[in-house]
Amino acid sequence: MHQYRVVPIEEGKDPASATARATQAKVLPVRVIQMFVLFFAACIAFSVVSIYVFKHFGVSSVVTTVASMKPSLHPPCYQEPSGLDRWIKPPSDLIHTMTDQELFWRASYVPRVKKYPFNRVPKIAFMFLTKGSLPLAPLWERFLKGNEAYYSVFVHSSPSFYADFPPSSVFFRRQIPSQVAEWGRMSMCDAERRLLANALLDIFNEWFILVSETCIPLYNFTSIYQYIKRSRYNFVGAFDDPGPFGRGRYNENMEPEVTLSMWRKGSQWFEVNRGLAINIVEDTKFYPKFEEFCRPPCYVDEHYFPTMLTIQAVNQLANRSLTWVDWSRGGAHPATLGRADITEEFFEKVRQGPTCLYNNQPSRVCYLFARKFAPSALEPLLLIAPTILGY
Ligand SMILES: *[C@@H]1O[C@H](CO)[C@@H](O)[C@H](O)[C@H]1NC(C)=O
Ligand SMILES: *[C@@H]1O[C@H](CO)[C@@H](O)[C@H](O)[C@H]1NC(C)=O
């Protein structure tokens, strides 16, 4: 009767349900004991079965049993590769949410066993550093088509630019997460490092070529691939310019990491192998010096990589760039070539320029790429390319 009085006050329920509850209270302890006995029996049964399985099949088979149940938890269309593929398959989507710091760390992974345990056909990574669109894309499409096993494409453009390439294009979904890059400033080197790091995630990429939206190839793909592959050196422009635009930009606060005798200048457009690409991406020694002490009128994209690589890998540098550019018209920027400049004679002149060293031998083939071409040059270039440029 004690409960009868309390319950309505506590739960605000009518007397009928309170009576039912009073009867239930007497039944409850019996139920609890029954449940407890059942649970206890189940525990003993489980322990006995576990001990039996471990004894007879070992721990590994129990783990395997559990692991093999796992894929059924995933949607059926997705299967994590369990073989070597997991480590060598290039990312299917270039979009990721890694910060530069995270990306550079990931990109600096290097296998210590030198021999690849699979058939690795080395690829060239063409890294397009652009402001916006790629007006000469049709030319590059023609140059690259048919060589899918030997190249990959990466595009870094202004973050606001949305590329709209059809699925058949070599540029389709090849944009990497990008940030604003300003000419002559560290943000430009950051963009180049970002391109290198994203390209390094594909283990098949062996050579990394930086080009801009105004660049064109001067030979067919096979010729360029062989030229790069057979070269003993990396094509990074690096020279010691004693004048005000060379040594004049050096700041002695960079010592001791960077000394005046190691200070170099070179073109922004380079070709490096995987080893040097990793050197650039992993660098934390020279970067702060250049970031702090090489600001306009010290144009850091002309000095950082040439100087850093001269210090770290001087014997691997060809000290010249592969990209031809026309400085003959004077001024701070090279000439931009348009429709009227595209003639057979022009390309003969560019392709058969002064001699240079290729693997320590004199060579007439010094430039594989040329810039800067205006969008108006596209039409005549497409006409001339099959006969003059070989693609
Ligand atoms: C590429 O150019 C070279 C030299 O001009 C030529 O021998 C070769 O046949 C060309 N290759 C292709 C696939 O067109
Ligand atoms: C490049 O220049 C360095 C000096 O900075 C020199 O030691 C090296 O031999 C040069 N490389 C080639 C291939 O000429």
Look at ligand 2, atom 13, and give the residue with the nearest C-alpha.
318
Residue type, 307: T
Report the 3 state secondary structure along the chain: CHHHHHHHHHHCCCHHHHHHHHHHHHHHHHHHHHHHHHHHHHHHHHHHHHHHHHHHHHHHHHHHHHHHHHHHHCCCCCCCCCCCHHHHCCCCCCCCCCCHHHHHHHHCCCCCCCCCCCCCCCEEEEEEECCCCCCCHHHHHHHHCCCHHHEEEEEECCCCCCCCCCCCCCCCCCECCCCCCCCCCHHHHHHHHHHHHHHHCCCCEEEEEEEECCCEECCCHHHHHHHHHHCCCEECCCECCCCCCCHHHCCHHHCCCCCHHHCCECCCCCEEEHHHHHHHHHCCCCHHHHHHHCCCCCCHHHCHHHHHHHHHHHHHECCCCCEECCCCCCCCCCCCECHHHCCHHHHHHHHCCCCEEECCEEECCCCCEECCECHHHHHHHHHHHHHHHCC
Query: Residues 301, 188: contact at Cβ < 8 Å?
Result: yes
**Rounded CA separation 73/80 (Å):** 12
- The answer, yes or no, to whether any atom of ligand 2 lies below 6 A from the CB of 310, is yes
**Rounded CA separation 357/376 (Å):** 34
Q: Which of 240, 316, 317 to mutate to test the pocket of ligand 2 (most atoms within 8 A of CB)?
A: 317
Cα-based angle 109, 235, 231 (whole degrees, multiple of 5): 85
What pLDDT, on a 0 to 100 scale, did the predictor assign at position 354? 87
What pLDDT, on a 0 to 100 scale, did the predictor assign at position 13? 38
- The answer, yes or no, to whether any atom of ligand 1 lies below 6 A from the CB of 222, is yes
Ligand nearest to the CA of 150: 1
Look at ligand 2, atom 2, and give the residue with the nearest C-alpha.
319
**390 Cα to the center of ligand 1, angstroms:** 7
Query: Residues 130, 212: contact at Cβ < 8 Å?
Result: yes
Distances (CA, A) of 218 to 118, 127, 269, 371: 33, 17, 15, 10
Ligand nearest to the CA of 239: 2
Please name each of the domains of the chain with its CATH number.
Answer: 2-70 (no CATH), 94-389 (3.90.550)
**374 Cα to the center of ligand 2, angstroms:** 34
What pLDDT, on a 0 to 100 scale, did the predictor assign at position 52? 52
- The answer, yes or no, to whether any atom of ligand 1 lies below 6 A from the CB of 376, is no
Look at ligand 1, atom 1, and give the residue with the nearest C-alpha.
220
Nearest atom in ligand 2 to 310's CA: 5
Q: In what order do the strands lie in the sheet with 123-129?
A: 151-156, 123-129, 205-212, 271-273
Query: Residues 371, 216: contact at Cβ < 8 Å?
Result: yes
Residues in the chain, pLDDT under 70? 1-33, 35-79
**320 Cα to the center of ligand 2, angstroms:** 10
Distances (CA, A) of 25 to 3, 6, 18, 31: 10, 14, 11, 10
Look at ligand 2, atom 12, and give the residue with the nearest C-alpha.
318
Ligand nearest to the CA of 388: 1
Smallest CA-to-CA distance from 305 within 257, 267, 351 is with 267
**389 Cα to the center of ligand 1, angstroms:** 10
Asked whether the whole model's pTM tops 0.85, one would answer no
**116 Cα to the center of ligand 1, angstroms:** 30
Ligand nearest to the CA of 147: 1
Query: Residues 369, 322: contact at Cβ < 8 Å?
Result: yes
End-to-end CA distance of the chain: 101
Nearest atom in ligand 1 to 221's CA: 1
- The answer, yes or no, to whether any atom of ligand 1 lies below 6 A from the CB of 227, is no
Smallest CA-to-CA distance from 325 within 268, 240, 382 is with 268
Q: Which of 142, 223, 368 to mutate to test the pocket of ligand 1 (most atoms within 8 A of CB)?
A: 223
Query: Residues 334, 325: contact at Cβ < 8 Å?
Result: yes
